[in-house]
């Protein structure tokens, strides 16, 4: 084997990396994902957006940083594909920023693979989430009419967790269940046709670990719950407004269901992680 070929193999299979020019070029600097998340302020922004969609003014207040600085780093995260923005349906002057956890997941695995192939993974190789730890978690989804978004979210949480997380849904101005919501869930093997729509006042006295608003307008009028749940906002447009007929708006309902499936996939581990942590704290307190 030639000396050059041997050096190239050293770089590819975990050697010193001093071989071919191609291998050396790969080692000139970390991948863009690593550079983006390594910045302390950008990391804090991502951590905030994991908890909830937020407007720039909220991020400015929570991080106690100037708005122009926060906006600059949000732009960096958007350009890197880690954050998205959506104009508020309640106040068109505001935009809600969301973390793209699927993109983060993919870029994280790709970053590992750039260091060593054994550290790479594909979606098919990832271990499916299985709920664990004690149950008892309760989450309430809110939107305006309780006719589509919140009903879909409630049904998906129940399916994903096998009932280990109890989900409910309600609206500030309930209206009849939308037939397209029934249709998109039926395509997923879930029948919500018998669900009733409910006013959020029905749940005010109940305990929830998290209350998630799916509508920008509902977020503006969401009351304070006595049980002091975590308040989370997912800025999602009303799919019913996407077309003049049910047929025309159906693609928007499908998109809404897909987005909720993704968000819920990342929500459930947070809920069960908190459940396990709370149980550990209670056990430690009893032992003491």
Per-residue pLDDT tens over the stretch 7-29: 334 333 334 333 333 333 345 67
Confidence class for position 243, pLDDT limits 50, 70, 90: confident
Q: How many CA atoms lie within 13 A of 210 on its CB side?
A: 25
Per-residue pLDDT tens over the stretch 119-174: 776 544 444 444 444 457 899 999 999 999 999 999 999 999 888 899 999 999 99
What is the mean pLDDT of the segment spanning 247-264?
Answer: 95
Tell me: pLDDT of 194 over 90.
yes
Q: Where are the domains of the chain?
A: 31-125, 137-280
| pLDDT the model gives residue 92 | 75
Fold adopted by 31-125: Arc Repressor Mutant, subunit A (1.10.10)
Confidence class for position 241, pLDDT limits 50, 70, 90: confident
Beta carbons within 8 Å of 226's beta carbon, 6+ residues apart: 204, 205
What is the mean pLDDT of the segment spanning 219-240?
Answer: 93
Confidence class for position 116, pLDDT limits 50, 70, 90: confident
Q: What are phi and psi of 271, to 5 degrees?
A: -65, -45
CA dihedral 158, 160, 163, 165 (to 10 degrees): -90
What's domain 137-280's architecture? Answer: 3-Layer(aba) Sandwich (3.40)
Per-residue pLDDT tens over the stretch 17-75: 333 333 333 456 788 999 999 999 999 999 999 999 999 999 999 999 999 999 999 99
What is the mean pLDDT of the segment spanning 207-224?
Answer: 93
What is the set of active-site residues? 143, 215, 222
Give CB contacts under 8 A, 24+ apart, made by 228-237. 229/140, 230/51, 231/52, 232/51, 232/52, 233/52, 233/53, 233/54, 233/96, 234/52, 234/53, 234/98, 234/263, 235/53, 235/86, 235/88, 235/89, 235/96, 235/98, 236/149, 236/260, 237/86, 237/89
């Amino acid at each position: 084997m030639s000396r050059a070929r041997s050096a190239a193999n050293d770089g590819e299979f975990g050697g010193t990396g001093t071989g071919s020019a191609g291998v050396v070029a790969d080692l000139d600097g970390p991948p863009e994902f690593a550079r983006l998340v390594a910045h302390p302020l950008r990391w804090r922004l991502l951590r905030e957006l994991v908890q909830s969609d937020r407007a720039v003014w909220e991020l400015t207040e929570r991080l106690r940083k100037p708005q122009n600085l926060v906006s600059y780093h949000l732009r960096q995260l958007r350009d890197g594909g880690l954050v998205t923005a959506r104009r508020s349906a309640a106040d068109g002057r505001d935009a809600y920023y969301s973390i793209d956890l699927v993109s983060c997941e993919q870029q994280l695995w790709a970053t590992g693979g750039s260091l060593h192939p054994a550290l790479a993974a594909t979606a098919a190789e990832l271990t499916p989430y299985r709920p664990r730890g004690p149950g008892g978690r309760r989450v309430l989804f809110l939107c305006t009419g309780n006719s589509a978004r919140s009903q879909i979210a409630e049904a998906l949480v129940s399916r994903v967790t096998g009932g280990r997380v109890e989900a409910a849904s309600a609206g500030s101005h309930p209206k009849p269940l939308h037939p397209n919501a029934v249709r998109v869930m039926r395509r997923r093997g879930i029948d919500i046709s018998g669900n009733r729509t409910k006013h959020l006042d029905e749940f005010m006295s109940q305990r929830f670990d998290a209350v998630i608003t799916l509508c920008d307008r509902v977020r503006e009028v969401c009351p304070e719950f006595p049980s002091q749940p975590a308040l989370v906002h997912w800025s999602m447009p009303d799919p019913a407004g996407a077309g003049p007929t049910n047929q025309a708006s159906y693609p928007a309902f499908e998109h809404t269901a897909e987005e909720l499936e993704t968000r819920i996939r990342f929500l459930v581990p947070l809920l069960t992680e908190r459940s396990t942590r709370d149980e550990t704290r209670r056990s430690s307190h009893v032992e003491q």
